[in-house]
């Protein structure tokens, strides 16, 4: 089965400045009010909420819409939807988070997107006769749609967009994070991590996550709704939570993807090295 290998380079992202108001891609602007919490307190509560989810194995209904260039050089709309899985194994220290996401229909895998410690990749039409592999090396930080990468959202960005990556607890930042009240939620603007979040003060789970550029404008926007209890592999005072639906949009692109989670568990027995092994996946 032929495999087309496309070598990619990842876009870098730089820190953003603090806006005085929250500006969405629709142009809506709302004044901000001072928050009654410090960044250290917010980061501690946020990180405690996701601490049990160092690994995550989930089932979801997944829909992806994007434009790609066909063999004649024409821009062509494409979509894939079906049942699938989102799998994550969070890194620590200098290690990166491993991810895998599949779109499956009637027992066949149509897309497999993922990252490991060295590469990011997409297997397109995995069970078809025109199988393609897009692969690149990690360069820089999280960003928007990489050049030549067909899907609207880079797999390395997904844990951050879903609120599953911890916030840095460093005492000093090149650009100090700020926290304001936006309605009844905390608005965190974190220039060093190029991220802006709306966070529920009751659960300390995000309801919206924006990855931003140097001017503070959104590159990727994830709207997170509902709550799904995650089955934990040990007894906890309360179960960890993820959103039950994520809608992700790419600024400047007519593309998006949605995940409608059905179930999730932190069981490490469901997550194996082979799920993130590019060489093994290439031979499957």
Per-residue pLDDT of the chain (284 residues; tens, 9 = 90+): 443 333 333 322 323 333 334 554 444 456 788 899 999 999 999 999 999 999 999 999 999 998 877 777 778 888 899 999 999 999 876 578 999 999 998 888 889 999 998 888 998 876 666 778 888 887 654 444 444 567 878 888 899 999 999 998 777 788 889 999 999 999 999 988 889 999 999 999 999 999 998 888 898 999 999 999 999 988 888 999 999 999 999 887 778 889 999 999 999 999 999 999 988 888 77
- Structure letter (DSSP) for residue 274: G
Can you give the pTM of this predicted structure? 0.83
Closest to 226 (Cα-Cα) out of 248, 246, 209, 254: 246
Residues with Cβ within 8 Å of residue 272, at least 6 apart in sequence? none
Cα–Cα distance between 84 and 104 in angstroms, integer?
5
């Amino acid at each position: 089965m032929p495999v087309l290998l496309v070598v990619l380079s990842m876009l870098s992202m730089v820190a953003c400045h603090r806006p005085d108001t929250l500006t969405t891609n629709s142009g809506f602007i709302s004044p901000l009010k001072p928050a009654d919490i410090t960044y250290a307190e917010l980061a501690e509560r946020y990180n405690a909420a996701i601490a049990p989810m160092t690994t995550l194995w989930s089932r979801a209904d997944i829909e992806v819409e994007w434009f790609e260039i066909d063999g004649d050089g024409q821009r062509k709309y494409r979509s894939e939807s079906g049942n699938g899985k989102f799998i994550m194994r969070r890194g620590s220290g200098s290690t990166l988070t491993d991810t895998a996401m599949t779109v499956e229909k009637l027992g066949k895998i149509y897309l497999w997107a993922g990252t490991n410690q060295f590469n990011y990749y997409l297997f397109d039409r995995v069970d078809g006769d025109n199988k393609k592999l897009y692969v690149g090396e990690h360069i820089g930080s999280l960003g928007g749609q990489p050049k030549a990468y067909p899907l609207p959202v880079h797999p390395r960005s997904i844990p951050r967009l879903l609120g599953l990556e911890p916030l840095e607890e460093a005492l000093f930042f090149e650009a100090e994070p700020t926290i304001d009240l936006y309605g009844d939620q905390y608005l965190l603007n974190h220039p060093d991590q190029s991220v802006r979040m709306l966070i529920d003060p009751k659960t300390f789970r995000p309801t919206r996550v924006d990855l931003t550029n140097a001017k503070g404008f959104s590159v990727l926007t994830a709207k997170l709704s509902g709550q799904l209890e995650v089955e934990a592999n040990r007894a906890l005072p309360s179960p960890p939570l993820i959103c039950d639906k994520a809608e992700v949009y790419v600024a400047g692109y007519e593309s998006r993807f949605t995940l409608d989670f059905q179930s999730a568990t932190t069981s490490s027995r469901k997550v194996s090295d082979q799920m993130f092994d590019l060489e093994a996946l290439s031979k499957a």
